[in-house]
Amino acid sequence: MTKYDTEYKHKLISAAEAAGMVKSGMWIDYGAICGFPSLIDEKLSERAAELKEVKIRAEHSHTIIPRIDPDQEHFIFNSWFLGKVDREYHKNGACSYIPFGLGEGPRMYREWLKDQVDITFIEVTPMDKNGNFNFGASITRQKAACEVAKTVVLEVNEHMPWVFGGHDEVVNLSQVNYIVENYEYKIPEFPAAVVTKEDEAIAALLAEQIVDGATIQLGVGAIPSVVGKLLIKHNFKDLGIHSEMFNDSMMELIEAGVVTGRKKTLNPGRAVHCFAAGSEKLYKFMDKNKALAGFPVDYTNDPYTIAKNEKQIAINSTLRIDLRGQVCSESVGTRQISGTGGQLEFTRGAYMAPGGKAFICLHSTREGKDGQPISNIVPTLELGDMVTVPASDVSYVVTEYGMVNLKARSVWQRAKALISIAHPSFRDELTTAACKAGFITKGTMGLGWE
């Protein structure tokens, strides 16, 4: 038995005891995504009746707390990024969104929240022989939260992969107050998105823009997943990965030998990321895999760091774009759907990289409540829509009908370009609206956009 084993046993408590430390009015911070403390969350929910105004911050969580307290009498739930679960809570008024860029996470804690975290609960790997716990599939900003929290409680899960990192991927036993062992819950899995013919058409256009030796970032959704499969099919060589998220399609690219990282200018040979979301197979693949490098999000998402990768490619999806090029990827009016995430940071970083390109992808239409199609290319964004990527940052936009580059284009050129890749049944309507808004003027009416 080592000195760490003795200290570990001294700090070991039950999940109920950990939840019992929460008092009314406290600020509680959960680990992000796969760092979500499922067992402690369950035990804390059982204490709802005896608590008042406990404020929780989480991200892409799986909590049951808002469901048992929809009126927020006992718990006030806040999310840095809404996943499927948080989204429904927000829709019902039981969750508030925290606007921020994902790469700001560590600074948020170390600077703005340094005196405002009473307890942090974070899911981690089992301890190693040096007394370290690894944040595994969710490095993000976890170390910063541990540094500022008045009380640090780790929930140990044997299913969490140990991810070799760059820095801040571990926390030492000496920096921890209490430990809970979780044998009841695995870390969450994220099912693959359903792929449509529109996704396949968009992915085919994107694949044409990638060259051997490029470094890629793939965002959330079906389109990035299909892109990964196409890159395997087209036998690309020596691609690299520098991304916020690591997912199943990236694992498949490494397994197929398409991603080697040999040509990367930054962290060659390593697939850089700050969190993972995918299948159990993915998490097992990540465990002590020397081809991966997990970093905190202020490294992975720093545009100036991203820009050090030659031929950096950023592929992200959006909900809507207006005719001036404003991108809304996170809300429908005032209803929050997800969050800013790292979309703006990677759009800027890839654009700054030598030979880099940033792509914003969307389906030309979506289905309305009446079953009829609605255009996702709109004259102007709706009242309440959050602008995720400003018009000045947008370059390539892709739908199933084509690809356009908005850089260095006037508003009339942008409007015409975007109308050209809108669904054909909406192009006349969009043109009329663009003329009415003054985006397309009398003198530019008959001109092509290029």
Measured between alpha carbons, how far is 288 from 271 in angstroms, rounded to an integer? 13
Tokens coding 284: 């097992």
Which contiguous run of DSSP H or E holds residue 10? helix 3-11
Contacts of 330 (CB under 8 A, 6+ apart): 319, 336, 337, 338, 339, 340, 341, 386, 388
Other residues' Cβ atoms within 10 Å of the Cβ of residue 427: 18
DSSP line for 214-243:
-EEEE-SSHHHHHHHHHHHHTT--SBEEB-
Other residues' Cβ atoms within 10 Å of the Cβ of residue 305: 19
In this structure, are strands 215-218 and 312-317 parallel, antiparallel, or unpaired? parallel
DSSP line for 88-154:
HHHHTTSEEE----GGGHHHIIIIISTT--SEEEEEEPPP-TTSEEE-TTB-TTHHHHHHH-SEEEE
Any catalytic annotation for residue 189?
Answer: no
Tokens coding 8: 């570990």
User: Edge-to-edge, what's the strand order for the sheet holding 215-218?
Assistant: 240-241, 215-218, 312-317, 357-361, 396-399, 402-405
Measured between alpha carbons, how far is 87 from 95 in angstroms, rounded to an integer? 8
The active-site residue, picked from 244, 330, 345, 400, is 244
Cα 18 from chain centre: 28
Measured between alpha carbons, how far is 265 from 314 in angstroms, rounded to an integer? 16
Cα 334 from chain centre: 20
Measured between alpha carbons, how far is 414 from 434 in angstroms, rounded to an integer? 10
Measured between alpha carbons, how far is 111 from 55 in angstroms, rounded to an integer? 19
Q: Which residues are catalytic?
A: 244
